[in-house]
A = this chain, B = another copy of it.
Amino acid sequence: MLRFGVLGAGRIGKVHARTIAASGKARVAYLADAVPKAAADLAAEVGAEVASVEDIVKAKDVDAILIATPTPFHAEQIEAGSNAGKAVLCEKPVSLSVERIEQCLKVVEKNRTTLMIGFNRRFDPNFGALEKRIRQGAVGEVELATIISRDPAPPPADYVKSSGGLFRDMMIHDLDLARFLLGEEFVTVHALGSSLVDREIGAAGDVDTAAVHMQTASGKIAVITNSRRAAYGYDQRIEVHGSKGMLRAGNVHNTTVELATAEGFRGDPILHFFTERYGQAYANEVLAFIDAVTNGKQVSPSGKDGLQAQKLADAATESWKSGKPVKVA
């Protein structure tokens, strides 16, 4: 039984704590949140004790730290957990600053502790199955991947201001997926961005509609499009082309019901947003971490994966601002 300290009892913290509690292979020993009632309620539900972050990190009866706090706390909490010898699973991103991530990863490396980053989409059953089939050679040598990600509706402009911008806040998932699918590093990034959905987002210095394309040293190409609006639900699709064919993973509809009338054939909208679409992915992510830590396996995605995605997000942001392609080391 792996003993977890869970930092953060917000939306994602709850999802993860419940997965741990129901896993049969781990339990939540301690739980911290800045809002005492949030911590107490979730602790009661999953049979954990409320404690401070400091005490949890130091606790002898804690094997692993799950970080689901706001982004500004991630790096220092990873370092604290690592310094205490704990395995850490941290929600993305480690930090909005590449330098801060590099600093943090050095600490983890020095301590030789485990750090996994919560890029949940790698664990989506559809995307995961697709990637596995790429590795099995189903499409031969990969040549081009396209990733579509559209939120159902724009976030409040306030959120946007502290988010790091669309490329760092939203597209970072797709940038990670692109690396995951192609299995190569990108060397060139070019971004286009527009504010077409919500003028306040533009006024806040961000974009709500964006396209990025990237190329690896061997010439493989990834194309990503993002939007903060999709009337028909949370649009999450992948398409990968290779020498032998194409693999794609589509959206999941609310039901399989279809209505045919004189107006045509109408199917349901797709699952509304990330808690619906990626519910299973969140669970798979935590279970993969538990399995890796328990059985001494390599965790994935690693801290380095987190760093590389952040570098690509920075490059995309810079490209959008300058209008020029950006080289990535």
Contacts and interface: CB of A to CB of B under 8 A. Distances in A.
Nearest to A246: B260
Interface in A222-273: 223, 225, 227, 229-232, 235, 241, 243-269
A25 B138 CA distance: 45
A238 to B, nearest CB: 9
Given A144-B227, A209-B219, A213-B192, A139 B259 contact: yes
A130 interface: yes
Interface stretch (A59-67, A102-110, A193-201, A305-313): A193-201
Interface residues of A, number: 68
B251 A227 contact: no
A266 B269 contact: no
A250 to B, nearest CB: 4
A166 B221 CA distance: 16
Nearest to A18: B22
Interface in A124-164: 125-126, 129-130, 133, 138-139, 141, 143-144, 146, 148, 150
Interface string A288-328: 00000000000000000000000000000000000111000
A211 B221 contact: yes
B143 A197 contact: yes
Interface of A: 125-126, 129-130, 133, 138-139, 141, 143-144, 146, 148, 150, 188, 190, 192, 194-197, 209-211, 213-215, 219-221, 223, 225, 227, 229-232, 235, 241, 243-269, 323-325
